């Protein structure tokens, strides 16, 4: 994936070597609830109105008309079950949409009585060595649940959701995972001074106002950058081992040869890039996610650089399982790319953060448009870190116009309010009106 050069993920690497990895895959919203709603309905936030941490699918007049992915497979005769974070963690949401949901197994816990870090903000924003043992972690228990499900024989085909929590904050794991990343030799993400000097006021506000994560200034002043990166990488390696446990159980069980496996995350995450931490941005680090598909008939060890989206998973699985397509789904089946990763692919990926803020990504470029008009354009063949905004470079004018044409004209109003993402969006909109 070209991410942190020191990260250790042997099991996800093993999965990638057995299938197709999409290196240019993107979420539809850099926030968990709208992203997961989009995955399960194959609808863009601008179609459903689900832009932030609320509402649930059932509260969107558009989304509730779509059959969510697990329910569709249940209708087709599949035994459907799942555990962990599959949709948003609000009370009853997973139980409503995931048949035979086994529970959260402790969610983001366990949580120490007092914060481990010095950060005075949101209680979930914490990091450090905790607890003592892996078997105290919800993700460890979820992997154990998955191992049990993959033993024995089943009369029906099955759809199984395994939702791990880490590396979501709080970034706690036991000591052995931190030992893999000594601070003295730890590399920090690449940055440049003045990275944001050409950013519009709104573009700056939308990633900085009313956010619960620490500011980069706080991280630098408290010398917490390396500990934050260390905690993130430690959590990634911990989750990688849980992925390996599930893969091994699948291989050793009855269904290793005839099961499709899809690994993905719901959004990206900054660990200092673009002078920020956490999610909720329309830049590469906020929207790009890992996506790996493995299974019978899928080429082994292939890499695809075409722009794809999380809402493509639903129609892809329908086609892989020889089920009738659903014309209401807005994603595209990835079967053509699974068959030939170099095929001409006319589609772009689209991410939104609130009403009127969009990122459009093609194979080599990223175009961002904010609700008050300012735009950004990056050439990834020359500027993978997105340090140089080329929006006014006439060399790219035709390419920019093609990306701009992908911005939807019809956009659903925002449903729900008062979540952290919505508060940051509203604060940015308020500042925009003040400047007018």
Active site residue 88: yes
**Region 369-376 average pLDDT:** 95
User: Distance between CA 387 and CA 275 in Å, rounded?
Assistant: 11
pLDDT of residue 197: 87
Residue 229 covered by a domain: yes
Is residue 3 one of the residues assigned to a domain? Answer: no
Mean pLDDT of 182-207: 93
Say if residue 383's pLDDT is above 90: yes
Residue 90: predicted pLDDT:
86
User: Residue 429: what pLDDT?
Assistant: 95
> Per residue in 302-315, pLDDT tens?
999 999 999 999 99
pLDDT at 198: 81
Q: Is 403 a catalytic residue?
A: no
pLDDT of residue 152: 85
In a domain, 237, yes or no: yes
Buried b (16+ CB within 10 A) or exposed e, 344-381: ebebbbbbbbbbbbbbbbbeebbbbbbbbeebbbbbbe
Sign for the CA dihedral angle at 373, 374, 378, 384 comes to negative
- Give me 406's structure tokens: 């992908």
> Comparing C-alpha atoms, which of 330, 348, 351 is closest to residue 403?
348
**Burial state string for 168-191 with b = 16 or more CB within 10 A and e = fewer than 16:** bbbbbbbeebbeebeeeeeeeeee
**Can you read off the two tokens belonging to residue 408?**
């939807």
Catalytic residue among 32, 277, 304, 412: 32
Q: For residue 1, is it within any domain?
A: no
Q: How far apart are CA 96 and CA 227, in angstroms?
A: 38
The answer to the question of residue 5 being in a domain is no
In this predicted structure, the answer to whether residue 28 has a pLDDT above a threshold of 90 is: yes
Query: Considering the domain boundaries, does residue 30 fall inside one?
Result: yes
Task: Identify whether 155 is part of a domain.
Answer: yes
Residue 75 structural domain: 10-435
SS3 of the chain: the string is CCCCCCCCCHHHHHHHHCCEEEEEEECCCCCHHHHHHHHHHCCCHHHHCCCCCCCCHHHCCCHHHCCCHHHHHHHCCCEEEEEECCCCCCCCHHHHHCCCECCCCCCCCCCCCCCCCCCCCCCCCCEEECCCCHHHCHHHHHHHHHHHHCCCCCCCCEEEEEECCCCCCCEEECHHHHHCCCHHHCCCCCCCCCCCCCCCHHHHHCCCCCCCCCCHHHHHHCCCHHHHHHHHHHHHHHHHHHHHHHHHHHHHCCCCCCCCEEEECCCCCEECHHHCEECCCCCHHHHEEEEEEECCCCCCCEEECCCEEHHHHHHHHHHHCCCCCCCCCCCCCCHHHHHCCCCCCCCCEEEECCCCCEEEECCCEEEEECCCCCEEEEECCCCCCCCCCCCCCHHHHHHHHHHHCCCCCCCCCCCCCCCHHHHHHHHHHHHHHHHC
Query: Residue 144 pLDDT more than 90?
Result: yes
Residue from 26, 88, 168, 277 carrying the catalytic annotation: 88
**pLDDT of 420 higher than 90:** no
Number of domains composing the chain = 1
The answer to whether 63 touches 57, Cβ cutoff 8 Å, is yes
Q: Is the model's pLDDT at 120 over the cut of 90?
A: yes
Distance (Å, whole) CA 376 – CA 286: 15
We report the CATH number of the domain holding residue 261 as 3.40.720.10
Dist CA 257 CA 255 (whole Å): 5
User: Residue 435 has what pLDDT?
Assistant: 84
Distances (CA, A) of 105 to 86, 109, 291, 378, 385: 13, 9, 25, 42, 37
d(CA 21, CA 292): 4
Q: Are strands 20-26 and 308-309 parallel, antiparallel or unpaired?
A: parallel
With respect to residue 4, please indicate whether it lies within any of the assigned structural domains: no
- Taking only the tens place, the pLDDT of each residue in 53-64 is 999 999 999 999
- 214 within 8 A of 277, measured Cβ to Cβ: yes
- Band (pLDDT 50/70/90 cuts) for residue 426 is very high
For residues 272 and 308, give the distance between their C-alpha atoms in angstroms, rounded to a whole number.
25
pLDDT, one tens digit per residue, over 157-182 is 999 999 999 999 999 999 999 999 99
């Amino acid at each position: 994936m070209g991410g942190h050069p020191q990260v250790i993920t042997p099991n996800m690497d093993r999965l990638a070597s057995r299938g197709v990895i999409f290196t240019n895959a993107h979420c539809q919203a850099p926030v968990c609830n709208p992203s997961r709603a989009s995955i399960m309905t194959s609808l863009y936030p601008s179609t459903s109105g689900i832009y932030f941490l609320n509402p649930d699918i059932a509260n969107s007049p558009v989304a509730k008309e779509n059959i969510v992915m697990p329910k569709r497979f249940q209708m087709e005769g599949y035994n459907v079950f799942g555990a962990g974070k599959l949709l948003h963690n609000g009370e009853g949401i997973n139980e409503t949409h995931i048949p035979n949901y086994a529970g959260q197994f402790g969610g983001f816990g366990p949580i120490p009585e007092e914060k481990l870090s010095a950060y005075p903000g949101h209680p979930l924003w914490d990091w450090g060595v905790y607890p003592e043992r892996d078997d105290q972690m919800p993700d460890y228990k979820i992997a154990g649940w998955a191992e049990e499900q993959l033993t024995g024989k089943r009369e029906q085909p099955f759809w199984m959701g395994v939702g791990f929590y880490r590396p979501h904050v709080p970034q706690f794991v036991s000591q052995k995972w931190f030992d893999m990343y000594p601070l003295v030799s730890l590399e920090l993400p690449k940055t440049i001074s003045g990275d944001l000097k050409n950013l519009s006021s709104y573009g700056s506000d939308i990633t900085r106002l009313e956010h619960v994560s620490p500011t980069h200034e706080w991280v630098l002043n408290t010398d917490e950058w390396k500990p934050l990166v260390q905690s993130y990488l430690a959590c990634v390696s911990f989750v990688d081992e849980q992925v390996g446990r599930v893969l091994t159980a699948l291989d050793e069980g009855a269904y290793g040869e005839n099961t499709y496996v899809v690994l993905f995350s719901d959004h990206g995450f900054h660990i200092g890039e673009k002078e920020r931490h956490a999610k909720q941005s329309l830049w590469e680090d906020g929207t790009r996610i890992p996506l790996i598909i493995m299974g019978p008939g899928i080429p082994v060890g292939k890499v695809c650089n075409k722009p794809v989206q999380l809402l493509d998973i639903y129609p892809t699985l329908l086609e892989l399982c020889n089920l009738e397509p659903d014309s209401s789904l807005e994603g595209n089946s990835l079967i053509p790319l699974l068959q030939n990763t170099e095929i001409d692919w006319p589609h772009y990926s689209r991410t939104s953060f609130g009403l009127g803020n969009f990122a459009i990504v093609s194979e080599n470029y990223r175009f961002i448009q904010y609700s008050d008009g300012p735009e950004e354009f990056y050439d990834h063949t020359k500027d993978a870190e997105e340090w140089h905004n080329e929006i006014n470079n006439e060399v790219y004018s035709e390419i920019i116009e093609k990306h701009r044409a992908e911005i939807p004209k019809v956009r659903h109003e925002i449903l729900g309010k008062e979540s952290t993402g919505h508060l940051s969006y509203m604060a940015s909109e308020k500042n925009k009106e003040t400047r007018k």
